[in-house]
Amino acid sequence: MMDVDELVFFFLFYKFFFFFFFFFFFIYLFLFLLFLLMLFFFFLFILFNFN
């Protein structure tokens, strides 16, 4: 069995770990979708310019 302070420490550690993990995951996901959207508009811009 673990002590109470060790349990609290592990709980806080994993809570912060998952918080930062999901935080950075959603930031990278958002940037990736923004990048795809920019590429999409860039290709549309090229297509409409050549027509």
**pTM metric for this prediction:** 0.54
Q: Both tokens of residue 15?
A: 């809570």
* pLDDT at residue 24, as a whole number: 94
* pLDDT at residue 51, as a whole number: 66
Does pLDDT of 40 surpass 80?
A: yes
* pLDDT at residue 33, as a whole number: 98
Does pLDDT of 34 surpass 80?
A: yes
Longest dimension (CA), the chain: 72
- Quote the Cα angle for 39-37-32, to 5°: 95
Band (38; pLDDT cuts 50, 70, 90): very high
Residue 2 neighbours by CB under 8 Å, 6+ apart: 10
